[in-house]
Amino acid sequence: MKRQIIDTIEKYNTIIVHRHVRPDEDAYGSQLGLATLLRTNYPDKVVYTTGKHSAPLDYLGKPDEIEDAQFEGALVIVTDTANTDRIDDQRYDRGAYVIKIDHHPNEDPYGDLRWVQTSASSCSEMIFELAKTANWQLNEQSARFLFAGIVGDTGRFQYPSTTEVTFNTVAELIKYGFDRPSLFNGMYEVSQNVLHLQGYIYQNFQMDENGAASIKLTKETLQQFGVTVEETNNLVPILGSAKGIVAWAMFVEEENQIRVRLRSKGPIINTIAKQFNGGGHPVAAGATVYSWEEADELIQVIQKLCKDN
Ligand SMILES: [Mn+2]
């Protein structure tokens, strides 16, 4: 499969790399990392990245802004994105050929060619594997993108998805000498507003005797703390340090819907995500509900899951 992807890449002059909406470090890391690798190793090809930029990821990089015409005859590669609804920049289907590279369960097998490896810690780890197979040269920049993606998706190597392959990969990547302390600062320094909201979460989250927990962030709360919906993304894992916690949901109210972030230390929660208009990894998933009543229903499902666990 990797060989087939490399052969296809070699056939096209224009390549556009997409990733998922509401990007995280692995979305940017795999997208911008792959694009950088392609630019370095195929200087004659035209390589673009696309999708709405997320300001909290400024420290990492920025996708390009491209015109419709650039899709004509282009090879489109989508990284880190399980289903077509989540592809950022829905023009992906205007290209001549679509490749999916992802590590989420392959429930939506879109594209003309797919490489899905759920055992990979991150899509960035897969991009490194692709680079090795293709014998592509890495540099400081591409190594930094891939490293950021791996660190992001493994929660600094603490999630069970972290394997020997992951550590071998980062051991290779750090040889390229990018500034790790400044990258870590970019990833983990937070504004005072966000820190204050973090305090609010610690003070107000609810947890039952079976370790089922939740926190609701209303529009008013976000306004009061001066924090955007995007900025709450990195706050999802913080409840993981609560002693006895098993599975939890963070609800973030948006204009017409409530975004749900689900995490678990064991029981499978992407099935719950699917029940509530979402999906994702077995222990890290996302969903959407449309009222606080529906949010309470979801909490009950988590409580039952933890009770039966
Ligand atoms: Mn990922």
Return the pLDDT at 220: 97
Question: What contacts 141, CB < 8 A, 6 or more positions away?
Answer: 36, 178
Which residue has 């899905």 as its token pair? 116
Using alpha carbons only, how large is the chain's radius of gyration in Å?
Answer: 19
Cα 224 to averaged position of ligand 1 atoms, centre (Å): 31
- Other Cβ atoms less than 10 A from the Cβ of 90: the count is 11
Cα 220 to averaged position of ligand 1 atoms, centre (Å): 30
- Judge contact between 170 and 163, C-beta under 8 A: no
Cα 103 to averaged position of ligand 1 atoms, centre (Å): 7
Cα 108 to averaged position of ligand 1 atoms, centre (Å): 16
Q: What's the rounded Cα separation, in Å, for the pair 49 and 32? A: 7
Cα 11 to averaged position of ligand 1 atoms, centre (Å): 27
Cα 73 to averaged position of ligand 1 atoms, centre (Å): 28
- Judge contact between 85 and 93, C-beta under 8 A: no
- Judge contact between 115 and 125, C-beta under 8 A: no
Cα 120 to averaged position of ligand 1 atoms, centre (Å): 9
Per-position pLDDT tens, the chain of length 309: 999 999 999 999 999 999 999 899 999 999 999 999 999 999 999 999 999 999 889 999 999 999 999 999 999 999 999 999 999 999 999 999 999 999 998 989 999 999 999 999 999 999 999 999 999 999 999 999 999 999 999 999 998 899 999 999 999 999 999 999 999 999 999 899 999 999 999 999 999 999 999 999 999 999 999 999 988 988 999 999 999 999 999 999 999 999 999 999 999 999 999 999 998 889 999 999 999 999 999 999 999 999 998
Return the pLDDT at 153: 95
Cα 293 to averaged position of ligand 1 atoms, centre (Å): 31
Cα 26 to averaged position of ligand 1 atoms, centre (Å): 5
State the pTM of this model. 0.83
Cα 27 to averaged position of ligand 1 atoms, centre (Å): 6
Q: Which residues surround ligand 1, an ion (CB under 5 A)?
A: 26, 80, 122-123, 153
Cα 179 to averaged position of ligand 1 atoms, centre (Å): 22
Q: How does DSSP classify residue 274? A: H
Return the pLDDT at 114: 97
Cα 173 to averaged position of ligand 1 atoms, centre (Å): 18
The DSSP result for 52-90, as a single string, is ---GGGTTT-------GGGGTT-EEEEES-SSGGGBSSG
Which strands form 279-280's sheet, in the order they lie side by side?
206-207, 212-217, 247-253, 258-264, 284-289, 279-280
Cα 268 to averaged position of ligand 1 atoms, centre (Å): 17
Two structure tokens written together for 104: 């989420």
Residue 30, phi then psi, degrees to nearest 5: -75, -40
Return the pLDDT at 66: 95
> 67-81 burial, b if ≥16 CB within 10 A, otherwise e?
eeebbeebbbbbbbb
